[in-house]
Structure 1
Amino acid sequence: MPTTPDLIARYYAAFNAKDWAAMAACVSETINHFVNEGDKRGGRAAFADFIAHMDDCYDETLTDIVVMASPDGTRASAEFIVNGVYKKTDAGLPPATGQTYRLPAGAFFDVKDGEITRVTTYYNLKEWIRQVS
């Protein structure tokens, strides 16, 4: 079984490789996914739907990723920089015209039996809107 930092690193490596199946394989079938400024999504299928939607609207790469984990490996966090292109207008947000953005973000995780059971992501939405407007 991978260590929690290895699991989180694999999760973000899959994100950067746009390997959505590998990313989904890191999460529990019953994951609780809390999206910044959004509703909770429950389950791997809802998580995969969210990732597909994000891929449709945004092209993002994460850099400067730092992962921290509790000694028992049940909780972790990650801080990173989101480098993105806003490629398709997302509902309720400014029109997309290929704008680029760069902003710090973070995520918190619960881990059980080598799988991510919760991920909560945070970033400054007002700053993102300022950059793409």
Structure 2
Amino acid sequence: MSRQQTLDLIRRYYAAFNAGDGQGMLDCLAEHVAHDINQGGRHDGKDAFRAFLGHMARCYRERLDDVVVMASEDGARAAAEFVVHGEYLATDEGLPEAHGQKYILPAGAFFDVVDGRIARVSVYYNLADWTAQVSA
């Protein structure tokens, strides 16, 4: 896969995210995608990712702005930096109580791309910053 094809794939993934198109996101993923959740564990496979999307839709409403995507020359790896604009809708287990708090949070993600699909996505953000924003 070329660098440009990888850039297009990651941009398509984030366009689907911002459109609330979970199936569009899933279409960008390899069947056995590895999903590293910020300060959490790794989930494997599209079914686990689908469940994660359902959980996120229940607890959060988010939009990503200022998305910048980078890719290696061979297209095998990519990264993205963005700003999350969110609303905390329902209490997520182990986190502060939700009551519609809004937050703005810089974040990033790293990707492995295999055979034209995302084979790994690892998302990172400052959980302490998010917690402070929703606890204020």
Q: TM-score, normalised by structure 2?
A: 0.96
Picking from 35, 38, 41, the partner of 1:39 is: 41
The residue that corresponds to 1:23 in the other structure is 25
Amino acid at match of 2:7: P
* CA offsets 1:101-129 (integer angstroms, 9 cap, x no match): 00100000000111000000000000000
Answer yes or no: is 1:56 the counterpart of 2:42.
no
**How far off its partner does 1:8 sit?**
0.2
Unaligned runs of 5+ in 2: none
Mapped partners of 1:20, 1:102: distance in 2: 22
Shift of 1:37: 1.2
Residue 106 of structure 1: aligned partner? 108
> 1 CA distance for matches of 2:41 and 2:69?
25
Kindly provide the amino acid, as one letter, of the partner of residue 88 in structure 2.
Y
Letter of the structure 2 residue corresponding to residue 132 of structure 1:
V
Alignment identity in percent? 58
Give the alignment's Cα RMSD to 1 decimal. Answer: 0.9
Gaps of 5+ in 1: none
Q: Which residue of 1 aligns with 2:77?
A: 75
Structure 1 runs (4+) deviating above 3 angstroms are none
Output the CA distance in 1 between the equivalents of 2:120 and 2:93.
Answer: 25
Map 1:113-128 → 2, pairs under 5 A: 113-128=115-130
The one-letter code sitting in structure 2 at the alignment partner of 1:7 is L
Distance 1:31 1:87 in 2: 27
